[in-house]
Structure 1
C-alpha cells in the first residue's frame, strides 16, 4: 500500500517532537487533453517521416508509402509511452499530482523524429522510497519494451560488409546487445557489421534514451534514484558525472550537451516531504535493476561518423 502519513513537528513541553499526520491531498489540475492529443499526433507524424527516411522513402514524393515509416514510429513511440506511463502510474499510486505525458515532435532534418516525452511533477514525493520508485519505474518500463523489440530486430538482421563512406555512421553495441547479437547471429567476422531494420533502429534509440535518463545527475531519473539512496550527497555524484561527461565529450560531442544539462539541473534541489523514512530491501532491489540496465547498456561513444551504419 502507498504511504498514508508523513512526519511533521509539533510543540511539546519538553521540546519539539515528530508527529505523524495524513499528508494534504494535492490540488490536481484537470488535464488539457487537447494539448496532449495534438502533441502526440504531431510526434506520430514526425516519427513516421523519420521512419520513411530510414527506409529510403522520400516523405513527399512517395507519401503514398507512408506505411513504411510505421514500424519505426510505432516502436519508438511505444517505448516512450511505456517509459512515461511508468512514471505516471507510479506517481499516482503514491498520491502525487502529475500530468499526462507530453510528446515532443522533432521535424526534419532531425532523423530521430522526436525530442522524447516528459510528464510534469506538480507535487513533491512523499518520501525517498516514493522518489526512487517513481524515478526507476520509467526506465524499467521502457526497457521492458525496447529489449524484446531489439531481440526481434536481431532475428531479422543481416550481416553486411563494412564499406565506409562520407555521411555514413555506425551505432555502438553496449554489452547487453553484444551478448544478444552474438547469441542470435554468432561471431561477426572482421570487416562485417550487423544491419538492423527500422524496428531495431527505433529500439536502439529507445535503449539509448533509457541510458540518458538513468545518468545519476540533476533532475534526470538517475538523479532521483541516487538522491533517494544517498540524500544530499547526490550533488557530489552529479558533479562527478558532469566532469566525466565533459571528458567523454572529446570522443562524442553530444556528451557536452548532456554535461551542461546535468550541471543546470543539478542546481535545482530535490524536494521530498519526508527525507527520513529509510529505504527497504525492495527499494535497493529496484535501484539495482536500474543500475544493471545502465551498466549493461551504457555506450561511451554511441554514434561514430564515417562508418557503415549498423542499422
Structure 2
C-alpha cells in the first residue's frame, strides 16, 4: 500500500488504522486487490461482489459510523472505491432561533388582527394574537420536527427547522429543514417523507377541534382591507359536524387548523421533491417520474377549470402548477438502496396518507370579499 500520512489541525490521518477499521465492511461487497492513499482519501482498486450500483448503498451505514463516506468510480477499465472522511459543518442554531422569534412575532400580529385588535391605538393588544401563533407554530413545527426526528433515526444529516417570517395573511411562509448527504434507502425516504404530513395533519385536527369549540371574536374590518371567504375541505367539514359547530365565522385557532390542512394538501402533491413526491418515489421507484411529470399539467387544468368554467379565482392552482413544473423538472435523487422495495405495511400507510391529503382538498380554497 502506498501511504501518505496527512496532518490536519491537531489530528493526524493514519491510513493503516483507517483501513483496518473499514476493511472488514468493504470486503463484504468489494474484492480489493490494491490500496493507495493521497492526503485523507483512500483509493481501493478491486471488483464488486454485488451489483456495482448497490456498493455505496451497502457501505453507507457502516462507514458513517466512523465518519467516512465513499463513492464508486469506473476509470480506465478498473473499479475504484474512493473512501474519504466526511467533514461536518457546525450548525448555526442562532439562525433558527432568530427566525423562530421573528415568525412568532409576525404570526402574532396577524393573529391579533384576526381577533379584532387595534394595534395602532393599543399595542399591547398584540397578545390577543397569541392563541393563533401557538396554534400555527404547533402545526408547522410538528410537521418539520417529525421530518427531523425520522431523518435522525435513519442516520441522515438534517438541520433544525427554519421558520420563514413573511407578510402574508398568516404572517409566515411556513418552515423547512435542510437535508445533507444521500438518502440511504427507499425505506428511509418513505419514513422521512410521510412523517411530516401525518404529524402536521394530526396537529391540524387537534387545533381545529380546539378552535371550533372557541367563540369566534367580533371583528370590524379595517378600512380598505380584504376579507377571505374560505372553502372548507371535507376533513374540516367532518370535524365541524362531529363537534357540532354551526358558526359561519372561524376562531383564529380553527383557522390555523384550516391552514394546516391546506399546507398538508400542497405538501402531499406527488411531484418533484415535495413530501408527496418523496412518498411516491419510495413506493413506486422510478415509475413515480411519470406521475410527477403529469401532476403540474393536472394542476394547471384544475386552475383553468376554476377560472374559465366556474368564473372563480384559480390563481393558486395555476401558480402551483408552474412551481411543480420546476420541481418535477429537477427530478428526484435516487436513494442508495434503490432496488429494495417497500414492505406492504408502508405501502398501505402511503395510500392512506394520500387519501387523507385528498380529504384536505377544496376546489376553491379561498376567495377575497370586500
Q: TM-score range by the shorter chain?
A: 0.7 to 0.9
Counterpart of 2:187 (choices 129, 151, 170) is 129
Q: Look up the match of 1:254.
A: 316
Q: Does 1:46 align with 2:102?
A: no
C-alpha distance 299-29 of structure 1, shift in aligned 2 (>3 A): farther
Counterpart of 1:277 (choices 340, 343, 351) is 340
Instruction: Please give the TM-score of this superposition, normalised by the length of structure 2.
Output: 0.72
Question: 2:202 is paired with a residue of what secondary structure?
Answer: helix
Counterpart of 1:142 (choices 191, 195, 200) is 200
Over aligned residue pairs, what C-alpha RMSD do you find?
2.6
Counterpart of 2:238 (choices 176, 179, 194) is 179
Describe how 1:159-198 pairs up with structure 2 within 5 A.
167-185=226-244, 194-198=248-252
Question: 1:126 is paired with a residue of what secondary structure?
Answer: coil
How many residues align structurally? 290
Distance 2:110 2:48 in 1: 64
Query: Do 1:76 and 1:206's aligned partners in 2 also have CA atoms closer than 8 Å?
Result: yes
Give 1:222 shift: 0.3
Question: 2:184 is paired with a residue of what secondary structure?
Answer: strand
Distance 1:275 1:29 in 2: 27
Structure number with higher relative contact order (C-alpha < 8 Å, ≥ 6 residues apart): 1
Q: Look up the match of 1:37.
A: 97
Counterpart of 2:156 (choices 96, 109, 131) is 96
Q: Deviations over 1:141-188 (max 9, x none)?
A: 111111011112222357x9xxxxx943311111112222123327x6
C-alpha distance 76-268 of structure 1, shift in aligned 2 (>3 A): same
Question: 2:157 is paired with a residue of what secondary structure?
Answer: coil
Q: Deviations over 1:263-291 (max 9, x none)?
A: 11112232211101110122113213311
Distance 2:145 2:286 in 1: 28
Q: Look up the match of 1:163.
A: none
Distance 2:271 2:118 in 1: 40
Higher Cα Rg, which structure: 2
Distance 2:340 2:161 in 1: 29
Give 1:27 shift: 4.4
Q: Look up the match of 1:152.
A: 210
Query: Do 1:96 and 1:123's aligned partners in 2 also have CA atoms closer than 8 Å?
Result: yes
Give 1:194 shift: 2.3
Q: Look up the match of 2:327.
A: 265
Query: Do 2:136 and 2:257's aligned partners in 1 also have CA atoms closer than 8 Å?
Result: yes
Query: Do 1:157 and 1:195's aligned partners in 2 also have CA atoms closer than 8 Å?
Result: no
Q: Look up the match of 2:21.
A: none
Q: Does 1:200 align with 2:254?
A: yes
Unaligned runs of 5+ in 2: 1-24, 33-45, 65-85, 219-224, 307-313
Describe how 1:98-113 pairs up with structure 2 within 5 A.
98-107=158-167, 110-113=168-171
Give 1:304 shift: 2.4
Give 1:9 shift: 6.1
Query: Do 1:11 and 1:17's aligned partners in 2 also have CA atoms closer than 8 Å?
Result: no
C-alpha distance 22-238 of structure 1, shift in aligned 2 (>3 A): closer
Q: Deviations over 1:57-109 (max 9, x none)?
A: 133332111110001111001111110000000001000011110000013xx
Q: Look up the match of 2:272.
A: 218
C-alpha distance 103-234 of structure 1, shift in aligned 2 (>3 A): same
Q: Look up the match of 1:234.
A: 288
Distance 1:254 1:14 in 2: 53
Give 1:17 shift: 2.5
Structure 1 stretch displaced more, 133-142 or 25-34: 25-34
